[in-house]
Chain A
């Protein structure tokens, strides 16, 4: 169904990150918001993405924000960096989704919701680190990778799952000894994202706890946040709810705290 070669050629085909993006990220990294916004403006797709993103209801701005410099100013350094990473990930998303019932708008909604809530979580955990804040952007890459690898195998997958309740990540693991999150890690390397981002994403799979305590804790929060978000009607209907296995025991010890942060009654 899926072989190691298919995975390798998929990773091979991932384009390097565009020059303007690299420069924007580099400038954001050193805190040069004005210069970064000028570079970002040269990439039309990026500016349109950023405008679309921050004007979503979850960001809660009263008036429409249109200027890139304004956007970076409002978001601040870490959230701006996160927004640019979100854009990079969205570059990988297919023009037409086949496996999951998503479109570019609902995918952006997913990115926006994850990012926003991750920020709340990090505030609650009193963590102020822009790389950790950006880590959430890589999580939806696992969905894109699933779509890319399995979109032509929908019927096979459905038949297989009619006799055995296995999730896509396990199928991939058993067939190729590589899982979705390994592939996300490769993407992170290719795009020169900080090492810590890849490590947190690995822990967020719920099946590979990290050795480092903080990374593992962040992985737990991210795993639970993913399923909290995927429990929304919109994403259940997109058939995202069971694309990977929810490791309920892994997140058991942080659930009460999580429900406070998310204000679940």
Chain B
């Protein structure tokens, strides 16, 4: 079974009946491992569509959970159940409950590192006092406002005013939480989460290839969420200094948020500042400050030092890239595409009105970046299949467009692997208009293919 990964949470959704005979068929350790490799910070099994389960049915999952958590330091457990199912699980496991339970996916998201600082007002109650505090601390840590009901009576009273809260947490349980470097994108900033002691190990856990390719795709602002960092040693200091200087040629900025220097030498801060790293106390100091965010995160073509040229492999694989893109858009819009012109030059977009764009990078045996420029209408149409409704909300369209481009990226990855070329893909970046795109792509040379989908012009650009 495959997991769906969203907001840093991998969710498996079995349907029907779950017992000791069939659980191994639903989920194998390989399925879980494959999901864990996608940099998720939680792996959950949704019980939403499970009408019957017994302890044997859950046991095999729990065994796998514990194994994966030990190896990958991620949060594991079940989600999406009603009170009856929650009581049953509590009864099955009693004091052995060492995994997490979240009544809904929304509640799980509150505890995921990839969904921090959304500033949600959360009402919570748990009859176990230590659970109550643990949840409140975690929520606070993740940038939400927990409101704790001390008694069930108080909880019931407060719950009646449901509008006052973004979410109400009940029937949930925090097992051992995981910790890993999680990556997420807010606006156009990439946020990495680091915790506890930062030492030479950071060189192994930090995905440098991913970081470099994010730079290449046009991300310029990298924030290290360091609220949970206890201290840093000289090896980590060197690592971050180097990371910052190597990003300088892209005009990239690295910020640390919430880092205290109680147990780390003060001189380290100065060294890091000399390397160009900025320090902020609160995530909101950056994320809520639109001007600053724009200034730091704006793509800038000012100093792309390594102007790389297309090479033979890329040109040989060009048809694969185009096929993957065309096939995906055709699939999503149920329309036919035709190719109009192909040229190797800098990107040229004749008509820039009502266009949105997205880029996705790939790296591995070959590396580069695909840029797609869509008329808003095609993007909207393609999104209908994913969200099942027509919408004019630009943010929603851009989000869904990112998913679509993710599909294109996935398809390119499969097609290239058929050619024995192994690549990984970056997160997609979206641009609400052509100007924003041109800031990073204007001077780059690449292959431009003009395509038409039912009379709508569509542009594909492959560069390095």
Please report A residues at the B interface, Cβ cutoff 8 Å.
1-3, 153, 155-156, 158-165, 170-171, 174-175, 224, 227-228, 230-233, 236-237, 241-242, 245-246, 248, 251, 255, 259, 264-265
Excluding A237-B25, A246-B51, 15 further A-B contacts by CB distance (< 8 Å) are: A1-B331, A3-B334, A155-B411, A161-B2, A164-B403, A175-B334, A175-B385, A231-B17, A236-B14, A242-B1, A242-B15, A248-B49, A248-B50, A255-B51, A259-B52
Judge whether A248 and B13 touch: CB under 8 Å.
Answer: no
B 348-402 contacts with A by CB, 8 A: 384-386, 388
Judged by a CB distance under 8 angstroms, whether B445 is at the interface is: no
Judge whether A164 and B386 touch: CB under 8 Å.
Answer: yes
B 328-351 contacts with A by CB, 8 A: 328, 330-331, 334
Closest chain-A Cβ to B82's Cβ sits at a distance in Å of: 10
Nearest neighbor of B38 in chain A, beta-carbon distance? A162
Judged by a CB distance under 8 angstroms, whether B327 is at the interface is: yes
Judge whether A228 and B2 touch: CB under 8 Å.
Answer: no
- Chain B positions 1 through 25: 1 when the CB is less than 8 Å from some CB of chain A, otherwise 0: 1101100000001111110011011
Given A161-B2, A164-B403, A174-B384, are A228 and B17 neighbors across the interface (CB < 8 Å)? Answer: yes
Q: How far is the CA of A199 from the CA of B55 in the complex (A)?
A: 38
Q: Which of A1, A170, A174, A233 contacts B25 (CB 8 A)?
A: A233
Q: Which of B16, B21, B385 contacts A241 (CB 8 A)?
A: B16
Closest chain-B Cβ to A25's Cβ sits at a distance in Å of: 33
Contacts of B411 in A (CB 8 A): 155, 159
Judged by a CB distance under 8 angstroms, whether B406 is at the interface is: yes
The 3 A-B pairs of least Cβ separation, nearest first, read A231-B16, A227-B16, A231-B17
Judged by a CB distance under 8 angstroms, whether B26 is at the interface is: yes
Judge whether B15 and A160 touch: CB under 8 Å.
Answer: no
Q: Which of A161, A224, A241 contacts B26 (CB 8 A)?
A: A241
Q: Which of B13, B21, B327, B388 contacts A233 (CB 8 A)?
A: B21
Judge whether B2 and A158 touch: CB under 8 Å.
Answer: yes
Contacts of A153 in B (CB 8 A): 331
Judged by a CB distance under 8 angstroms, whether B407 is at the interface is: yes
Nearest neighbor of B410 in chain A, beta-carbon distance? A159
Given A155-B414, A162-B2, A228-B16, are A248 and B48 neighbors across the interface (CB < 8 Å)? Answer: yes
Chain B interface bracket (under 10, 10 to 19, 20 to 34, 35 or more): 35 or more
Nearest neighbor of B24 in chain A, beta-carbon distance? A233
Judge whether B385 and A174 touch: CB under 8 Å.
Answer: yes
Judge whether A231 and B386 touch: CB under 8 Å.
Answer: no
Judge whether A236 and B26 touch: CB under 8 Å.
Answer: yes
Contacts of B5 in A (CB 8 A): 162
Judge whether A162 and B17 touch: CB under 8 Å.
Answer: no
Judge whether A231 and B22 touch: CB under 8 Å.
Answer: yes
Q: How far is the CA of A3 from the CA of B331 in the complex (A)?
A: 10
Q: How far is the CA of A162 from the CA of B5 in the complex (A)?
A: 7
Please report B residues at the A interface, Cβ cutoff 8 Å.
1-2, 4-5, 13-18, 21-22, 24-26, 48-52, 54, 327-328, 330-331, 334, 384-386, 388, 403, 406-407, 410-411, 414
Judge whether A246 and B49 touch: CB under 8 Å.
Answer: yes
Contacts of B18 in A (CB 8 A): 231
A-B contact count (CB 8 A): 94
Q: Which of A1, A155, A228 contacts B330 (CB 8 A)?
A: A1
Given A155-B414, A161-B2, are A227 and B25 neighbors across the interface (CB < 8 Å)? Answer: no
A-B contact pairs, 5 of them (CB 8 A): A160-B407, A161-B2, A227-B16, A228-B17, A264-B17
Nearest neighbor of A259 in chain B, beta-carbon distance? B52
Q: Which of A3, A163, A246 contacts B403 (CB 8 A)?
A: A163
Q: Which of B2, B15, B334, B388 contacts A246 (CB 8 A)?
A: B15
Judge whether B385 and A230 touch: CB under 8 Å.
Answer: no
Judge whether B13 and A165 touch: CB under 8 Å.
Answer: yes
Judge whether A163 and B386 touch: CB under 8 Å.
Answer: yes
Judge whether A174 and B48 touch: CB under 8 Å.
Answer: no
Q: How far is the CA of A163 from the CA of B38 in the complex (A)?
A: 13
Judge whether A160 and B331 touch: CB under 8 Å.
Answer: yes
Judge whether B4 and A264 touch: CB under 8 Å.
Answer: no
Contacts of A245 in B (CB 8 A): 15, 49
Nearest neighbor of A262 in chain B, beta-carbon distance? B17
Contacts of A251 in B (CB 8 A): 51
Contacts of A3 in B (CB 8 A): 334
Nearest neighbor of A175 in chain B, beta-carbon distance? B334
Q: How far is the CA of A79 from the CA of B143 in the complex (A)?
A: 63
Contacts of A159 in B (CB 8 A): 328, 407, 410-411, 414
Given A162-B410, A248-B51, A259-B52, are A242 and B13 neighbors across the interface (CB < 8 Å)? Answer: yes
Contacts of A174 in B (CB 8 A): 384-385, 388
Judge whether B2 and A230 touch: CB under 8 Å.
Answer: no
Contacts of B328 in A (CB 8 A): 156, 159
Contacts of A233 in B (CB 8 A): 21-22, 24-25
Nearest neighbor of A237 in chain B, beta-carbon distance? B25
Contacts of A160 in B (CB 8 A): 331, 385, 407
Q: How far is the CA of A128 from the CA of B413 in the complex (A)?
A: 56
Nearest neighbor of B327 in chain A, beta-carbon distance? A156
Nearest neighbor of A226 in chain B, beta-carbon distance? B16
Q: How far is the CA of A232 from the CA of B23 in the complex (A)?
A: 9
Nearest neighbor of A167 in chain B, beta-carbon distance? B15
Closest chain-B Cβ to A15's Cβ sits at a distance in Å of: 28
Contacts of B331 in A (CB 8 A): 1, 153, 156, 160
Contacts of A248 in B (CB 8 A): 48-51
Contacts of B49 in A (CB 8 A): 245-246, 248
Closest chain-B Cβ to A11's Cβ sits at a distance in Å of: 18
Nearest neighbor of B46 in chain A, beta-carbon distance? A165
Q: How far is the CA of A158 from the CA of B50 in the complex (A)?
A: 22
Closest chain-A Cβ to B58's Cβ sits at a distance in Å of: 14
Q: How far is the CA of A230 from the CA of B25 in the complex (A)?
A: 11
Q: How far is the CA of A233 from the CA of B17 in the complex (A)?
A: 11
Q: How far is the CA of A160 from the CA of B54 in the complex (A)?
A: 32
Q: Which of A163, A170, A231, A265 contacts B407 (CB 8 A)?
A: A163
Judge whether B22 and A232 touch: CB under 8 Å.
Answer: yes
Q: How far is the CA of A248 from the CA of B52 in the complex (A)?
A: 10
Contacts of B16 in A (CB 8 A): 227-228, 230-231, 241, 246
Q: How far is the CA of A139 from the CA of B25 in the complex (A)?
A: 23
Closest chain-B Cβ to A1's Cβ sits at a distance in Å of: 4
Closest chain-B Cβ to A203's Cβ sits at a distance in Å of: 18
